[in-house]
Amino acid sequence: MKHTIAALALLTLGASALAAEMTEEQKTFYALGQIMGRQTSVFAMSPAELEMVKQGIGDAVEGRKAAVDMDVYGPKVSTLAQSRRAALVDKQAKEGETFADAAAKEKGAVKTASGLVFIPLVRGSGAAPKAEDKVKVHYVGKLPSGLEFDSSVARGAPAEFPLNGVIKCWTEGVQMMKVGGKARLVCPPAIAYGENGTGPIPPKATLNFEVELLDIVKDAPAGK
């Protein structure tokens, strides 16, 4: 009973306070829950569906008999995952299109033939790079939801790369900038990571970058 009361008390705390009150073992079990949650996020569960999952976990952990025939319903989990994933991808794709359409209506925005939406934030006064140039930039990348998936700013170190070695959106968009400038690049999936996505970027995702062009990098002559 004491353990149950303690567990309930932990659930009422905020995230940082929760961690402060946890033992090392509790933190590990919490991490287990986070891993399970991320692995099942594709199901986009409603609160009622999440309760069913919790019941299933509880029955299995406590050794109780399953409430359904697992030979029948176990194989259906994969089919459900595929269906929910497809629905989630379509939803995200439509949200991305809506986001890009709204961005294209912002003041100063330019929408190119590729679908890129270029929004200047600070006009640069230096040179404009070419596709074969190496550039030095600071950037923050977000999904339309506002979720940040990458940031050189957060890492505290600018990124350097050849413009023809990155996604087409960047190759095109950064060439529209001048050194010292800053702009937003809204990238539809066709010129970003396409149908499959990559890492934390989901399939068919529209991406929203804020990019500051710091410099065009000139390689030192050989032998220097």
Separation CA 36–CA 22 (nearest Å): 19
Q: What is the residue-wise DSSP string for 149-212? A: EEEHHHHTS-EEEEGGGS-HHHHHHHTT--TT-EEEEEE-GGGTTTTT-BTTBPTT--EEEEEE
Alpha-carbon distance of 42 to 153, in angstroms, equals: 29
* Catalytic site positions: 139, 149-150, 167, 193, 209
CA distance 1 to 7: 10
Specify which residues 216 forms β-bridges with. Answer: 135
Is residue 159 within 8 Å of 183, Cβ to Cβ?
A: no
Q: How far is CA 120 from CA 80, 110, 147, 170, 215, in A?
A: 43, 9, 22, 14, 17
Angle, CA of 47, 50 and 53, to the nearest 5°? 160
Q: Which residue has the tokens 């912002």?
A: 106
Query: Which of 59, 60, 173 shows the shortest CA–CA distance to 114?
Result: 173
Neighbours of 93 (CB within 10 A): 18
